[in-house]
């Protein structure tokens, strides 16, 4: 199996893990801050175990190896999570979906400026099609959106694009310690607003499952897969979490999606599939 294919499969799995957020938030009836706190604690704990097993006595050296990029990944990833939560509170879901779909464009621009990485026509075309699909999913609500209030969502998108590019930049180094730190940092940032002790035993179990399977596993697969594909393709694959998230909620809770949501989701999935099947020849001087 080629590195590109392996990276693609890992990032699809990462997007699938992230896409379960809507499913879990409907199951766990606690406030958003407490949800984020425990998700960060359990996700970070899971990743800490992975680091300990992976490095086997070289943890400090592994942390130092991530360098400045690792520190930035930890900070930006945590900031993106908090920005996303607050954007959901003051912006429309439609606006956030469209801004989220713009992450591949931000990633392409940053990868070109920072890494000198030029993207293939196929992936850029698939990114445009996926953006159109997300816009269709958002539907008429976009017309009523006030994009000036969407600065938090924009900050989230730029932060995530930078995270992808920075992980790609350090592709010879394991960035699992960095994403582990980001999970704990996210919990630390929301701690003052959370009520972590006011959860039932049943909620505590679901929070643990949420933190490990959705957040921890999503970050782990992101850290493993991102170095193996271009920054733009990595961001494009991440867009899959939106239509997949709609699918899980539909199947689990019988929440019938709108026709435009189904059409747009189909377009996004088709764009990603087309990019996977398209030829991507290596070019001299350009990172694989």
Burial 125-156 (b: 16+ CB within 10 A, else e): ebbebbbebbbbbbbeebeebeeeebebbbbb
170 part of a folded domain: yes
Task: Report helix, strand and coil shares of the chain as percent, to nearest 5.
Answer: 80, 0, 20
Instruction: Give domain status of residue 159, yes or no.
Output: yes
Q: Is residue 119 domain-resident?
A: yes
283 lies in some domain? no
286 assigned to some structural domain: no
Q: For the chain, how many structural domains are there in total?
A: 1
Residue 288 covered by a domain: no
Whether 287 is covered by a domain: the verdict is: no
Measured CA to CA, the distance from residue 96 to residue 92 in angstroms comes to 7
One digit per residue, the tens of pLDDT, for the chain of length 288 reads 788 889 999 999 999 999 898 888 888 889 888 999 999 999 999 999 999 999 888 999 999 999 999 999 999 999 988 887 777 666 555 566 677 778 888 888 899 888 888 888 888 898 899 888 887 876 655 555 555 456 777 888 899 999 999 999 998 899 999 999 999 999 999 999 999 999 999 999 999 999 999 999 999 999 999 999 999 989 999 988 888 888 888 888 877 777 877 888 888 889 888 888 877 655 433 443
Whether 17 is covered by a domain: the verdict is yes
Which structural domain range is residue 30 located in?
Answer: 3-277
8 to each of 145, 225, 270, how far by Cα in Å?
33, 7, 15
Neighbouring residues of 47: CB distance < 8 A, sequence distance ≥ 6: 176, 179, 180, 183, 216, 219, 220
pTM: 0.86
């Amino acid at each position: 199996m080629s590195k590109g294919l392996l990276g693609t499969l890992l990032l699809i799995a990462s997007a699938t893990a992230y896409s379960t957020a809507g499913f879990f938030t409907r199951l766990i009836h606690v406030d958003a801050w407490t949800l984020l706190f425990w998700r960060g604690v359990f996700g970070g704990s899971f990743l800490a175990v992975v680091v300990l097993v992976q490095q086997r006595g070289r943890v400090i050296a592994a942390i130092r190896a991530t360098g400045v990029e690792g520190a930035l990944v930890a900070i930006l990833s945590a900031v993106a999570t908090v920005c996303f939560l607050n954007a959901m509170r003051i912006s429309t879901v439609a606006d956030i979906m469209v801004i989220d779909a713009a992450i591949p464009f931000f990633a392409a621009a940053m990868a070109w400026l920072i890494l000198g990485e030029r993207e293939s026509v196929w992936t850029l075309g698939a990114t445009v099609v996926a953006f159109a699909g997300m816009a269709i999913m958002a539907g008429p609500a976009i017309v009523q959106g006030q994009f000036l209030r969407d600065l938090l969502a924009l900050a989230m998108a730029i932060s995530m694009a930078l995270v992808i590019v920075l992980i790609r930049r350090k592709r010879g180094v394991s960035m699992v310690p960095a994403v582990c730190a980001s999970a704990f940092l996210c919990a630390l940032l929301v701690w003052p607003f959370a009520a972590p002790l006011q959860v039932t035993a049943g909620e505590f179990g679901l929070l643990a499952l949420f933190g490990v399977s959705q957040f921890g596993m999503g970050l782990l697969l992101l850290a493993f897969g991102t170095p193996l594909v271009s920054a733009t393709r990595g961001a494009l694959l991440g867009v899959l979490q939106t239509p997949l998230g709609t699918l899980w909620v539909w199947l689990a809770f019988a929440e019938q999606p709108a026709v435009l949501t189904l059409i747009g989701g189909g377009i996004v999935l088709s764009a990603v599939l087309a990019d996977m099947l398209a030829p991507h020849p290596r070019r001299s001087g350009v990172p694989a």
